Amino acid sequence: MTHRPTPPGTSGCICPKCHRVFTRPSTFDKHQDQGGRETVCHDPADRGMEIVRRTIDGHPVWGHPVSDADRDRLARIRKAA
């Protein structure tokens, strides 16, 4: 597995090849094909991801879309905390 450093202001990871930021290792892995000697990075949007937030220094963070129901549930949890 590729080393995935954590970007500032997020718990995600940065691709060392294309420098895109991802929400978690599974989204990082989904944007790449690792076969043979060459690792190929793909546009995250072509792999079903969207920009879900930005790092503290403004870089987009790619992840899987969240449903409206899950978004409402998370808002209630954050409000209660």
Question: Tokens in use for 42?
Answer: 């793909």
Q: Tens digit of pLDDT per residue, the chain (81 long)? A: 445 555 555 567 889 889 999 998 888 889 998 777 888 999 999 999 999 888 888 889 999 887 888 888 888 988 887
Read off the pTM: 0.68
Residue 64, pLDDT score = 87
Position 9 scores a pLDDT of: 53
Which pLDDT score, from 0 to 100, does residue 5 have? Answer: 53
Pick from 45, 80, 41, 43: which is nearest to 65 by CA?
45
